[in-house]
Amino acid sequence: MAGLQDLAQKLNVGVIGGGYAGMAAAVALAERGIPVTVFESARQLGGRARGVVHQDTQLDNGQHLLLGCYRQTLRLIEQVGGNLEQDFLRLPLQLDLHGEFSLRAPHLPAPLHLLIALLSAQGLPFGARLNAARFMLALRRMNFRLSCDMTVAELLAQHGQDAEPAQKLWEPLCIAALNTPIRKASARVLLNVLRDALNRSRADSDMLLPRVDFTALFPQRAASYVEERGGKVLTSCGVEAITPKDSGIELTTAEGTTIFSHVICAAPPVAAAKLLRSFAALENTVAQINGLEHQPIYTIYLRYPAHVTLPHPMIGLHRRFSQWLFDKGQIAGQHGLLAAVISAEGIHQELPQEQLAQKVIAELREEFGIAGQPEWFKVIAEKRATFCCAPNLQRPSQQTALPGLLLAGDYTAGDYPATLEGAVLSGLRCASLISA
């Protein structure tokens, strides 16, 4: 015990970035009694998962969804004072493409719940459903592992998943999970997500829709947790330079300089590459980061009168601009507020925002009879929402070649695509590497 305390006293960690990765690392360090200071360049915490206010309405910079298998994210939310029952609307696995396809998992243990869901799905001929169930069983036999990575489209073709199940089932699933089209997406990473979400316990495939904004859900609570344990969380305080010194690593901000025993760089890829590019020892790391392509996510929020609702809290559309629609009234009591999400690259990127919003408004009218114009709409285009999760991607490791400097973030090495859970796992790994 005394040894651990001595170790904690010798350590002093600076974390660059107060997104989910940086705050996860900070919580894990603070929990172990290690002094930690978080530097966040923005005015608020959360990064790519942050609350945004528009027209006095609480929004997020993009509608997010968590899966029951995001165990570390959910554990940390509870650790810093969240209550999963109150913070989320929890839905059993369901995929509804309005009028085209519907899959619902019954209350049975995994993986039976999925097999029954696939066999009883509506909107696919029986042969295609049987084939989809066979595909899942084949993946289970392979332990969800591939000896060679390939694109998801190639994997589907190998397993006889023809155009209809690919378009109605696997493609929406792949885009939702990896934010990458099936012709570009890594089958190996998709299988990692399917392994964890569909194959262990039934609750792992649950979909959790947050009732609170993403800054409040975790980063803000995490900041209180860290500060209560003597740490610091500084917003509007971007790190301008990282300088290795004999005594540790110096961080420079507009306020001055501070020396730390260790630094975790949890900034997003482009910002991280900028901070690291002057170090010869990190040439490979910076090349790996610069080699990442990005994929966008667009969220279109629409404020309708309070009585306007959708048939389900979350519903998909087939061959439309809007891929997924969320009814914030049913999810979070924000009646009349709808969110349309368009993930990954596509022709929507070529449209001016006003025109894109009008397309979504027309789709809501044609699919659900929602007449008239909304009071307002807000298009949030995150052009670099996630990295493009291609096969055989070399992602930088958390441990860098510069002693004392670690990397966290959804883009760093790991099983998961760019997700909250991937970000959190990377932050926890950095904390473990330091405290080990």
Ligand X SMILES: Cc1cc2nc3c(=O)[nH]c(=O)nc-3n(C[C@H](O)[C@H](O)[C@H](O)COP(=O)(O)OP(=O)(O)OC[C@H]3O[C@@H](n4cnc5c(N)ncnc54)[C@H](O)[C@@H]3O)c2cc1C
Asked if 301 interacts with ligand X (CB under 6 A), we say: no
Candidate list 36, 266, 276, 434; residue touching ligand X; CB under 6 A: 266
Yes or no: say if 219 and 233 are a contact pair by the CB < 8 Å rule: no
Q: Which stretch binds ligand X (CB under 6 A): 152-160, 195-203, 357-365, 414-422?
A: 414-422
Residue 107 vs residues 120, 196, 207, 288, 307: alpha-carbon distances, Å: 14, 18, 14, 43, 31
Nearer to ligand X, 25 or 136 (CB): 25
Determine which residue in the list 8, 42, 89, 150 makes contact with ligand X, applying CB under 6 A: 42
Phi, psi of 332 (to 5 degrees): -130, 15
Helix or strand holding residue 433 (H, E): helix 420-435
Which of 299, 297, 296, 329 lies closest to 312 in space, CA to CA? 329
Strands 248-253 and 256-260: antiparallel
Length of the chain: 436
- Classified as helix, coil or strand, 137 is helix
- The number of residues that bind ligand X (CB under 6 A) is 35
Encoded one letter per residue, x for contact with ligand X by CB under 6 A and - for no contact, window 215-254 reads -----------------------xx---------------
Helical residues (DSSP H) of 124-231, grouped into ranges: 126-141, 152-158, 163-165, 171-178, 187-198, 214-217, 219-228
Contact status: 64 vs ligand X (CB under 6 A): yes
Among 11, 28, 34, 49, binds ligand X (CB under 6 A): 49
By CB under 6 A, name the one of 41, 323, 334, 435 that touches ligand X. 41
Q: Which stretch binds ligand X (CB under 6 A): 87-95, 163-171, 262-270, 308-316?
A: 262-270
Cα 320–chain centre separation: 23
When the beta carbons of 166 and 379 are compared against ligand X, the nearer one is 379
**Can residue 47 be called a binding residue for ligand X (CB under 6 A)?**
yes
Q: Are strands 101-104 and 57-60 parallel, antiparallel or unpaired?
A: unpaired
Interface region with ligand X, contact rule CB under 6 A, candidates 77-85, 102-110, 261-269, 322-330: 261-269
How many Å apart are CA 230 and CA 237, to the nearest integer?
A: 19
Please, which residue, 322 or 386, has the CB nearer to ligand X?
Answer: 386
22 binds ligand X (CB under 6 A): yes
Joined together, the tokens standing for residue 304 give 């309708």
428 scored as a contact of ligand X (CB under 6 A): no
Q: Does 334 bind ligand X (CB under 6 A)?
A: no
CB 393 within 8 A of CB 288: no
CB of 179 to ligand X, least distance (A): 7
The smaller minimum CB distance to ligand X, of residues 161 and 398, is found at 398
Q: What's the closest the beta carbon of residue 225 comes to ligand X, in angstroms?
A: 16
Closest distance to ligand X from the beta carbon of 124 (Å): 25
Strand partners, 338: 302, 327
Q: Is 303 in the site for ligand X (CB under 6 A)?
A: no
Nearer to ligand X, 133 or 338 (CB): 338
Closer residue to ligand X, CB minimum distance, 70 or 135? 70
Say if CB 25 and CB 427 are below 8 A apart: yes
CB of 62 to ligand X, least distance (A): 2
Q: Which residue has the tokens 């009814």?
A: 327
Q: Report whether 336 contacts 308 (CB < 8 A).
A: yes
> Per rule CB under 6 A, is residue 418 in the interface with ligand X?
yes
Min CB(59)–ligand X separation in Å: 11
**CA of residue 38 relative to chain centroid, distance:** 21
Region 354-393 residues binding ligand X, contact defined as CB under 6 A: 382, 385-386
Burial of 73 (0-12, 13-18, 19+ CB in 10 A): buried
The residues binding ligand X (CB under 6 A) are: 16-22, 39-42, 47-49, 61-62, 64-65, 238-239, 266-268, 271, 297, 299, 382, 385-386, 409-410, 418-420, 423
